[in-house]
Structure 1
Amino acid sequence: MTAVEERMPKVQSAAAPTPFPPIEEYAFLSNCHTGALVGPDGSVDWLCVPSFDSPSIFGSLLDREAGNFRFGPYGFNHPVSRRYVPGTNILETTWRTGGGWVVVRDALTLVARGGAPDTVTPHTRPPTDDDADHVLVRVVECTEGRVEVEMVCEPIFDYGRAPAQWRLLDADQHTAEATGAGATVRLVTDLPLGIEGDRVRGRHALRAGERAFCALSWGDPRDVPQTVQEAEARLADTTRYWHHWLSGARIPDHRWREPLQRSALTIKGLTYMPTGATVAALTTSLPETPGGERNWDYRYTWMRDSTFTLQALHYMNLDWEADEFMQFVADVEANEDGALQIMYGIDGRRDLTESTRDELSGYAGAQPVRIGNGAYNQRQNDVYGAVLDSILLHSRNSERLPRRLWPIVQSQAECATKIWQQPDQGIWEARGEPQHYVSSKLMSWIALDRAATLAEIRGDPRLAAKWRGTAEEIHADILANGVSPRGVLRQHYATDALDASTLLAALFHFLPPDDSRIRKTVDAIADELTENGFVLRYRTDETDDGMSGKEGTFLICSFWQVSALTMVGEMQRARDLMERLLRVASPLGLYAEEFDADTGRFLGNFPQAFSHLALIEAASRIILHEMLGALV
């Protein structure tokens, strides 16, 4: 190795030894208000309360000293098995120790509403019969032998900035309260507690047939279970909730039934029930580049996700969730020019100013840790198409165009008309110079095409003709400037580089599937924009995205490739890629944003709604083709 090579920065492997568990080994819990990640050692390493985008109280996901909550056998960190209770978001972990066996069940619980309004996370949507009680419940049962269990609860509030101030609330030492940074949590357990500085701890030996529990609450103190029987009743109520919800989903009797079901449960788990919004992912700042700076806060709602969300929800017959999401879209406040932002807070807020938490180490050393997302005020011309396509999908499914959505159709169509010729940051929110991205032009075409159809549904031929004419103008512009000399859709007008977002031309029927430009684009991405068969969104050395470092393959892009292969008739290639994608799911069936093809590790925020939405679409296209083929 030369002296120059020795001075060059080393590329960190996604599988480099680190005290942080691999991203794919985390389990996801949800009560549709917030979510938690549970590591393989039984530690809750990520929990923000009371909502998805609140400051964390357990942040060991981003710094091993930023708070955690472990409940499990003392001295053992590697369980025998972990699974979800079938058809739920309840985690069941089985442990074998030197003395016996224990099973731990963890859940963010949902129970029947008592009629009182939720003052912790107030609703703008009609409350449902069952809702979150703002409690994390954990129950352990010894099934054989004798096992000593330990509970260690060490919240550090405000993303690891404010250690907890604990106090015991009862003489028997079974209830304690922690405060910090203006927040309060209450812990109830049947283990005797002791305060050790910033944490509380309890230990107890269980024999076969014995159980113990702990419950952490950030809501009404009266809502916390007081006994193991009450804790198990909460778990039973939560099981019934998830089973009842899932029974309303249309999931075909197919070999891919389980990944479809898990994706549905994950998407529901990433839904913020009080407003109907859907968060892009549970986490912030899980790195897209190992040890790098491509770390973003995804705990918000992207308007571009709307059309993919509506497609998946309506495909699965989850029309209530689809309508709730559309009502959220109808509620959000537009910019001064009438355009919707590319993203909003889950409560509809517009200001998502980005800051960094430089005192946190970051996951496996990836810095900075970001809170907020500076892309919220970027110009991204794809937002209009996503919103209007979702409104059309919803209108066709409900067989009516809701009156409160028509002003949005008008404003977004007019905005798209005004700006489609301008450069922007593109679908991937590049932080380089604005460009004429083909995907943005494509989504502008979708905006005017769908607006014209909606005007026809409403019975306004004048507007329909006006918007249809603009759509045809955009269509012609893309074909004149967005196709390379070899007949492949390019990333933007000033380059011949590839971009996986151009697969949307096939998915949104920009050209017929037998058009040579669609086929050549699909083939070029498969041959030139992949690593070990998995699709990159673009090559970072060919794209000015304002960042450094290499990325992993984007799982949504690989699922888009499956859908595109299906549309051009390459069914076997589509099935082969789909099977490979299903095999790289986490042990619990979850997906992050990216997959490192060299190491088999996940990268990026987790679990990622976009990945699961694209899985549902890709699988449904293949399943539909197989079902239709069986009828011929």
Structure 2
Amino acid sequence: MNDQTPQSAAAPSPFPPIADYAFLSDCHTGALIAPDGGVGWLCLPTFDSPSVFGTLLDRQAGHFRLGPFGINHPTSRVYEPGTNVLVTTWKTPSGWVEVRDALTMGPRKAEDTVTPHTRPPADDDADHLLVRTARCLEGTVEIDLVCEPAFDYGRTPADWILVDGNRHAADATAGGQSMRLQTDLALGVEGNRVRARHVLSAGEECFCALSWAEGLAAPTDVNEANACLDATTRFWRAWLGRARMPDHRWRDPIQRSALTIKGLTYMPTGATVAALTTSLPETPGGERNWDYRYTWMRDTTFTMQALHFLNLDWEADEFMQFVADLEPTESGALQIMYGIDGRRDLTESTRDDLSGYAGARPVRIGNGAFDQLQNDVFGAVLDSILLHTRRSQRLPRRLWPIVQSQARCATEVWREPDQGIWEARGKPQHYVSSKLMGWVALDRASKLAEIRGDAELTATWRETADEIEADILAHGLDERGVLRQHYETDALDASTLLAALFGFLPPGDERLRASVLAIADELTEDGFVLRYRTDETDDGLSGKEGTFLICSFWLVSALSIIGEEQRAGDLMERLLRVASPLGLFAEEFDVETGRHLGNFPQAFSHLALIEAAGRIIAAERMREFS
């Protein structure tokens, strides 16, 4: 392959396809498990900590596997229904074995000193354990355990020591961080890794547990390990039982999306990470690689919509309290993104010692877009506050100052160019979606002021909203009456679908209909939606990208809104068919190869799935009464 030939997403590679990873979570951190049973990604103790196992980004960056020796391809991988507990079944030449994996959760026993809470602790919380069990179903199976962590994104190998000379527990230490591997297998230390091998006969079980808990506490036998896994199963099923799940053919993907969004929530603060990973490529082998382990303010409104649709009001309130705690910038505006602990500085660096996923470099830690000017942030925050206020039937006192400051900031900047919703690294433009979200900001602020009984602010903010609307309709439409990407181009941009989702124009408006259908017909590949065409947009980067799954789900919603229900349903069915084998979605989908691209799993994709499904289901239910 020469340098001029673009790399295919399906090029032969030692890196498993992105969509073949399984996602585990304890709502403090998450893990990705490769099909061979290896932990490809785990950051400790939180989502945005440095990785300890990172073969996802470099095949030498830390590895941990429990599975049958010499067999890399399992027969079956499923989640225990209604959970984030993984069950993998293997056939070997001599027998069958089942492996269960989970980042375990259970009844809270004491104050969490590993990842302290700023929100009220729940009844159940993370154990700070990765627990794995293997049970021989038939015949005999040789089990292989290999644990070779590499701390600080693969930079620092571990020093191992057996605990008190005990062959069943070993501590790994590096850079002031320690963790313990506890197992009922006999361990041997081999340099920077520990290994164990044992033959299981039918009905026999073994376990291993990796602990970063207080005092490195861990289960000491297989019964305790199974108890941890069973408690985790009960936690997820009880949590899902509190959600409102429609009795519909799409119930399973909605449930999996709900479990994924909850799994991407950082319980100590209520924040939600955009994705579990950093630097999974949007362009195979290219430079479009970003760190998504942070909280984007634009996700707030979609998070609120999904959580309230599912009746998950506790999680919605936790997230709003996180927003209320955030420190604004010097202008009073909220940043476009924050750390999960609320920190503002997300300075971007690169890890040039890492190969990157299938050679996609650079690997980025931090996100340089954190201090970009993106004028859509005000609308997302104020729409989420209005959604939450209507749901709870009260406007919390601590949120009103945010309403005032974001409305003021939106008023001050809506006429200015910015980087747009997609964080383009080219020159600022008058992006239509940014103007649109400025209208959302002042429209929602006006409605919130009305709820509060402030007639003067209601009128003032409504007047500004009307002014923004007039500006968009004067400058943001092309000759066909289609919403354009920005005021200096006729190029299309999928973000203008937000005009339908946020009610900027009524469903019957011909300009809205024309805009939605133009995107459906002209900004798609094989029916899946692109953010924009990279050859028409100065985003400061090279390379083509895949279709954006959130944009495709937005199109489903928009088609439903303008009455194209059959077309919306057809696209929804196609989208659900391209989910990963375990029902997960990355950020993008490459239509030529059928591979997922970008960070994984992606909260935005799953949030948009829930909204799209909800709109179609609501329309179907309404037809039952017509």
State the TM-score bracket (shorter-chain normalisation).
over 0.9
Give the structure-1-normalised TM-score: 0.98
Corresponding residue SS for 1:143: strand
Return the match for 1:338 from 324, 332, 357. 332
Q: Give the AA of the match of 1:593.
A: E
Give how far 1:223 is off. 2.8
- Does the CA-based 8 Å contact 1:186-1:221 persist in structure 2? no
Return the match for 2:61 from 62, 66, 88. 66
Residues paired across the two proteins, number? 626
Residue 80 in 1 paired to residue 75 in 2?
yes
Q: Give the AA of the match of 1:110.
A: M
In 2, the alpha carbon distance for the partners of 1:613 and 1:222 equals: 36
- Does the CA-based 8 Å contact 2:508-2:562 persist in structure 1? yes
The within-5 A match list for 1:163-562 is 163-221=157-215, 223-562=217-556
The within-5 A match list for 1:110-149 is 110-114=105-109, 116-149=110-143
Give how far 1:8 is off. 6.1
CA offset digits 1:552-605 (Å, max 9, x no partner): 000000000000000011111001000000000000000000000000000000
- Does the CA-based 8 Å contact 1:28-1:89 persist in structure 2? yes
Q: Give the AA of the match of 1:57.
A: V
Give how far 1:628 is off. 1.1
Residue 103 in 1 paired to residue 127 in 2?
no
Change (3 A) 1:582 1:7: closer
In 2, the alpha carbon distance for the partners of 1:201 and 1:548 equals: 44
Residue 628 in 1 paired to residue 594 in 2?
no
Residue 30 in 1 paired to residue 14 in 2?
no
Runs of 5+ unmatched residues, structure 1 = 1-5
Q: Give the AA of the match of 1:131.
A: D
Give how far 1:486 is off. 1.0
Corresponding residue SS for 1:506: helix
Q: Match for residue 3 of structure 1?
A: none
- Does the CA-based 8 Å contact 1:82-1:91 persist in structure 2? yes
CA offset digits 1:252-273 (Å, max 9, x no partner): 1100000000000000000000
Q: Give the AA of the match of 2:247.
A: D
Runs of 4+ in 1 over 3 A off after TM superposition: none
Return the match for 1:573 from 549, 567, 577. 567
- Does the CA-based 8 Å contact 1:133-1:223 persist in structure 2? no
In 1, the alpha carbon distance for the partners of 2:261 and 2:166 equals: 41
- Does the CA-based 8 Å contact 1:42-1:70 persist in structure 2? yes
Give how far 1:630 is off. 1.3
Give how far 1:222 is off. 5.5
In 2, the alpha carbon distance for the partners of 1:185 and 1:546 equals: 42
CA offset digits 1:233-277 (Å, max 9, x no partner): 000100110010000000111000000000000000000000000
In 2, the alpha carbon distance for the partners of 1:122 and 1:537 equals: 38
- Does the CA-based 8 Å contact 1:283-1:297 persist in structure 2? yes
Give how far 1:170 is off. 3.4
In 1, the alpha carbon distance for the partners of 2:168 and 2:220 equals: 9
In 1, the alpha carbon distance for the partners of 2:578 and 2:601 equals: 14
- Does the CA-based 8 Å contact 2:25-2:263 persist in structure 1? yes
In 2, the alpha carbon distance for the partners of 1:413 and 1:110 equals: 40
Give how far 1:183 is off. 1.0
Residue 12 in 1 paired to residue 7 in 2?
yes
Q: Give the AA of the match of 2:557.
A: S
In 1, the alpha carbon distance for the partners of 2:215 and 2:465 equals: 57
Residue 154 in 1 paired to residue 148 in 2?
yes
Return the match for 1:563 from 557, 567, 571. 557
Corresponding residue SS for 1:455: helix
Give the structure-2-normalised TM-score: 0.99
CA offset digits 1:27-85 (Å, max 9, x no partner): 00000000000000000010000000000000100000000100000000000000000
In 1, the alpha carbon distance for the partners of 2:412 and 2:2 equals: 50
- Does the CA-based 8 Å contact 1:187-1:217 persist in structure 2? yes
- Does the CA-based 8 Å contact 2:27-2:262 persist in structure 1? yes
Corresponding residue SS for 1:391: helix
Give how far 1:221 is off. 3.2
Cα RMSD (Å) of the superposition? Answer: 0.8
Give how far 1:513 is off. 1.0
Runs of 5+ unmatched residues, structure 2 = none
Q: Give the AA of the match of 1:84.
A: Y
Change (3 A) 1:304 1:208: same
Corresponding residue SS for 2:197: strand
In 2, the alpha carbon distance for the partners of 1:172 and 1:613 equals: 47
- Does the CA-based 8 Å contact 1:565-1:574 persist in structure 2? yes
- Does the CA-based 8 Å contact 2:179-2:216 persist in structure 1? no
Residue 619 in 1 paired to residue 619 in 2?
no
- Does the CA-based 8 Å contact 2:180-2:216 persist in structure 1? no
In 2, the alpha carbon distance for the partners of 1:578 and 1:598 equals: 19
Identity %: 75
- Does the CA-based 8 Å contact 2:113-2:214 persist in structure 1? no
- Does the CA-based 8 Å contact 1:113-1:129 persist in structure 2? yes
In 1, the alpha carbon distance for the partners of 2:613 and 2:216 equals: 45
In 2, the alpha carbon distance for the partners of 1:473 and 1:450 equals: 15
CA offset digits 1:491-516 (Å, max 9, x no partner): 00000000000000011010011111
Residue 46 in 1 paired to residue 41 in 2?
yes
Give how far 1:171 is off. 3.2
- Does the CA-based 8 Å contact 1:26-1:39 persist in structure 2? yes
In 2, the alpha carbon distance for the partners of 1:428 and 1:43 equals: 33
Q: Match for residue 610 of structure 1?
A: 604
Give how far 1:117 is off. 1.0
Corresponding residue SS for 1:170: helix
Corresponding residue SS for 2:165: coil
CA offset digits 1:456-515 (Å, max 9, x no partner): 000000011000000000000000000001110000000000000000001101001111
